[in-house]
Amino acid sequence: MTRTEQALKLAKKMGLVRPKDLAGFGIAPVYLRRLLHAGELVQSSRGVYKLPTHRPSAYQNLAEACKRIPGGVVCLHSALHFHGLLKKRPAETWMAIDRKARKPSLEGLAMRFVRFSAEGLKQGVEEHSIEGVPVKVTTCSKTVADCFKYRHKIGMDVALEALRQCIRQRRCAKAELLRCAEVCRISTVIHPLFGGADMRIIEPIAPRRGATVARERWKSNCRASSSVRRAKFKGWQCGQKLARNWRATEGQAVL
């Protein structure tokens, strides 16, 4: 079997192939170019090749993005669409990369990158196979928590709608969502949105006694403490505001 035949066989097996994928088999990139000129392969995007008879799936953009960035994780809008929490397909592919990683320069793909910590790239991530390409996607609970963490990038309305759809479709448990919120350090934002232990029932949050005293205690502690406590107080304020808006829009509804 010639090198050209080997390259074509591997392309049929992988679905989407790059010159780097064939380097481990001792096949030079020139054989892919020969197959391209012969019409045996077509170029899906820069550096990615596939068979002309290859049928693209609904998530081909995710497969192409993860093929060119193996260490990236699909997140936010793209993850919401993948899990069925967002009906409209986003115009850009949202991908999380490490904080210290160099921003990839990709041509032919509409990408939007978000910086995650090393722990955020490992916790709440599941792997799927799309067109023979391993694709890392954040779980439903992690995706919703990320939407609240990056609410200033994607909008608070998107985060709230993602939470509503996640509850209505019963895609995750409350404990799992709160655990992901702790990983994203937004527990004070998400926790006030739940009035009961069961996520299927969203009840109005009853005002607690001494709420004003607790608020003043928070203020005094933040004035005398470090910036970490100041950030926690701002998160607490945001959570209380979200809870009020949630009660005003949802009320007492059984989902």
**CA–CA distance, 181 with 249 (Å, rounded to integer):** 23
Is residue 175 domain-shared with residue 67, that is, in the same domain? yes
* Total domains in the fold of the chain: 3
Question: What integer pLDDT is reported at residue 252 of this predicted model?
Answer: 45
Please measure the distance between the N-terminal and C-terminal CA atoms of the chain and give it in whole angstroms: 60
Is residue 159 domain-shared with residue 113, that is, in the same domain? yes
Angstrom CA distances, 243 to 191, 192, 206, 253, stand at 9, 6, 11, 14
DSSP secondary structure, the chain, as one string: --HHHHHHHHHHHHSSB-HHHHHTTT--HHHHHHHHHHTS-EEEETTEEE-TT----TTHHHHHHHHH-TT-EE-HHHHHHHTTS-SSPPSSEEEEEETTSPPP--SSS-EEEEEE-TTTTTTTEEEEEETTEEEEEE-HHHHHHHHHHTHHHH-HHHHHHHHHHHHHTT-S-HHHHHHHHHHTT-HHHHGGG--SS-TTEE-PPPPPTTHHHHHHHHHHHHHHS-HHHHHHHHHHHHHHHHHHHHHHHH-SEE-
Where is the domain boundary, 15, 30, 50?
50
Where is the domain boundary, 160, 185, 210?
185
Question: What integer pLDDT is reported at residue 105 of this predicted model?
Answer: 77
Residue-by-residue pLDDT tens, the chain, 255 positions: 787 878 887 777 777 777 777 777 888 878 788 888 888 788 777 778 777 777 777 888 898 888 888 889 999 999 999 999 988 889 899 999 999 888 887 777 789 999 998 888 988 999 998 887 889 999 999 999 999 999 999 998 899 899 989 888 888 888 888 888 888 888 888 888 875 444 443 433 444 455 566 666 666 665 555 555 555 556 666 766 776 776 666 544 433
Question: What integer pLDDT is reported at residue 204 of this predicted model?
Answer: 38
Question: What integer pLDDT is reported at residue 187 of this predicted model?
Answer: 85
Structure tokens at 49: 């090749």
Is residue 251 domain-shared with residue 194, that is, in the same domain? yes
Residue 42's domain comprises 3-50
Is residue 170 domain-shared with residue 247, that is, in the same domain? no
Is residue 112 domain-shared with residue 163, that is, in the same domain? yes
**What torsion do the CA atoms of 11, 14, 20, 22 make, to the nearest 10 degrees?**
-50
Question: What integer pLDDT is reported at residue 25 of this predicted model?
Answer: 80
Q: Work out the angle at residue 184's Cα, subtended by the Cα atoms of residues 90 and 162, and round it to the nearest 5 degrees.
A: 35
Is residue 87 domain-shared with residue 206, that is, in the same domain? no
